Structure 1
Amino acid sequence: MSFPELELIYFAAPGRARPIRLVLEIGKIPFKDTRVTKEEFGALLQAGELPLQTVPILKVDGKFASSQSGAIIRFVAALAGLQLTGATAVVRGEDIVATLEDILGLWVKYFSSSEEEKEKNGIDFVESGFPFYAKHIESILGNRQHEGPFVNEKLSWVDIYMYCFAELGVDTAKAVNKESPLLKFPRFAAVVKAVSEIPEVAAHQ
């Protein structure tokens, strides 16, 4: 199968690009992984190549395609055969994705905290914020009609999204010397474990 020529532009960091990169790698879709420095980002900004003044940016066949990470990951998931299919799968998966975005919003508050407030906000995130939303995700997973570890019967981009966003809770817990919040949510943790064992994920850098 032939694919369009893809270029993903982001920083040399995981961030918003990580689930996109993983979907492309799992799908064995060739792409140019352009990792820019702050200086190169500034140059792109000055050149008017960042419509929303942010990254990631996806180019398809050399032309700008999207500057929205949500649109990009759904596009590459469709190319990789990792999209959501069927009304029930879509509503279940998109509910989880929206809830993960709520988790990210809380994490940004912690990450942006002053040094004086960082530990307190980190503990609040690990012990209160993350569990509040993870409980909802755990409930959704509990209503599945199949026995496999993934959100739906087969792997989709939503599972990869869960894997990436779970690290916000795990890494923050380590930073504030607290227990991983995932330990209280076995279904969520099972998805994360299953994704972590995919060869492309294990080898990802």
Structure 2
Amino acid sequence: MESDEHAALRANNPFNAKRAALAGHWGWEFAPDAQWLLGRWPVLPVVARWSSHYRAAHADRCYGAVIGAMSGVEFTVFDFQHDLVRGPTAPSWLASSWMNFVTDTVWVVSLPTPMPHVQVLPKKNGYWFLGWKLGRPTTHHAAFNQQHRLVDTDPDVAARVLTPAVVNAAVALDLGTWALIGNDLVYTEASLHGGTPPERIVEVLGKLTAFLAHLPYDVALNP
């Protein structure tokens, strides 16, 4: 059951109305509540996969969904509100945070063909402090390798998917947390200060559409 705190925050956030207007302008669909999306993509941070020490204080929520197509690419965008993760190795600033939950905006765009699972996580992301054993990329881009980690990703698959073209595009487009899972590319950003504005939603959709052109789809055909 949704807590009064979560319900009040969702009701008072004006970005739901802005998203409805955005959807209407582009001829997209809008759903103020999108709980059916919960757990649909088993990648961080859209699904809770915490260690046994972690206990949820609030129910996870999906809301403010916009569903449509842009430049011929189908997409779903929504906000995902969940508890702030405090792992056993969390730094003091995170462990002592007054916030009880955080909100991420999630973009999911359809791929032209299924791709092997790859998830890229920036080291600056708070989930880095959960103490998991994460893989390190071994691409041509030294800074990318240093600043990112791979989650639940086969190193051999990562080597074939993270080509120079893919890595260069990810860096140029400033993509942070993203994953390939089945027929979808999932990308997330923290939603701060009143929610992700409509113009940012459209901007990121443009980035992701451009990013699709660099993916090595021959890997999907010859896994």
Q: TM-score range by the shorter chain?
A: 0.3 to 0.5
From the two aligned structures, give the one with the greater strand fraction. 2
| TM norm structure 2 | 0.30
